[in-house]
């Protein structure tokens, strides 16, 4: 590495953009998770090489998504309609509710084709470090949903992290007096793994082999 690499690197990062429009676009892209300024620049230049309708379709898809996306009133999954396709499907077992952190987990469990119940999307897990408490999540609505009756079993399918365990326990305390079976997915998933990164076979097996939740973590 040359002596002046650091200087070179910082001058690259601080370099003047030939256009304020370019700088603004790079700035917006680099706000995305996992995108640094170099990658942002590559993406922006790529878009700039596309024709006008392609770039407009790209921009509009994001604007329309944010403006028009809905969340299912029952399970809080992202949906184009008030009740999502999964909740509205009469073939699914409405007495079985799988609790997951986010929509990516719904997609991961759906991909296993091992689960025919419904979902409840929490919107995250309890994490005091990140300032996320129970009231920031869809936990009250889960308790309400179970309280309305018709739910026979709640399957906890959160990440096997400390935050996931804490959330499992919190939900257990909320539901333990209610007439509902509480189970947790089998730990075929490695401890510390996030659900969405598990392969389909492992995740499918974990759902099928779920075990009663005992309140110990």
CB of 189 to Zn ion, least distance (A): 24
Of 77-85, 123-131, 178-186, 205-213, the window that binds Zn ion (rule: CB under 5 A) is 77-85
**DSSP-assigned beta bridge partners for residue 117:** 93
Alpha helices in the chain (DSSP H): 5-13, 20-29, 37-49, 52-68, 85-88, 103-112, 139-147, 162-175, 200-208
If the CB atoms of residues 74 and 158 are measured against Zn ion, the closer one turns out to be 74
Contact flag: residue 75 with Zn ion (CB under 5 A): yes
CB of 111 to Zn ion, least distance (A): 17
Restricting to residues 87-106, name those near Zn ion by CB under 5 A: 87
Among positions 40, 84, 98, 171, the unique one binding Zn ion when judged by CB under 5 A = 84
Q: Is 134 exposed, middle or buried (0-12, 13-18, 19+ CB in 10 A)?
A: middle
Whole-Å CA distances, 157 to 76, 118, 206: 16, 12, 9
Nearer to Zn ion, 75 or 96 (CB): 75
Choose, by CB under 5 A, the member of 72, 109, 151, 195 that binds Zn ion. 72
Tell me if 141 sits within 8 A of 174, measured CB to CB: no
Residues in contact with Zn ion by CB under 5 A are 72, 74-75, 77, 84, 87
């Amino acid at each position: 590495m040359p002596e002046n690499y650091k200087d070179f690197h910082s001058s690259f990062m601080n370099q003047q953009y030939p256009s304020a429009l370019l700088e603004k676009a790079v700035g917006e892209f680099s706000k995305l998770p996992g995108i640094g300024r170099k990658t942002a620049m590559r993406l922006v230049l790529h878009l700039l090489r596309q024709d006008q309708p392609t770039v407009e379709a790209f921009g509009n898809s994001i604007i329309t998504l944010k403006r028009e996306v809905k969340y299912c009133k029952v399970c809080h999954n992202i949906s184009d309609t008030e009740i999502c396709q999964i909740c509205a499907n009469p073939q699914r077992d409405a007495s079985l509710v799988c609790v997951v952190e986010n929509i990516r987990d719904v997609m991961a469990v759906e991909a296993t084709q091992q689960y025919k119940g419904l979902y409840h999307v929490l919107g995250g897990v309890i994490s005091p470090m990140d300032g996320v408490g129970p009231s920031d999540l869809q936990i009250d609505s889960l308790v309400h949903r179970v309280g309305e009756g018709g739910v026979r079993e709640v399957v906890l399918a959160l990440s096997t992290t400390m935050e996931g365990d804490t959330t499992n326990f919190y939900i257990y305390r909320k539901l333990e007096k209610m007439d509902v079976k509480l189970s947790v997915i089998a730990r075929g998933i490695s401890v510390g793994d996030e659900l969405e990164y598990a392969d389909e076979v492992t995740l499918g097996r974990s759902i099928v082999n779920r075990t009663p939740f005992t309140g110990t973590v």
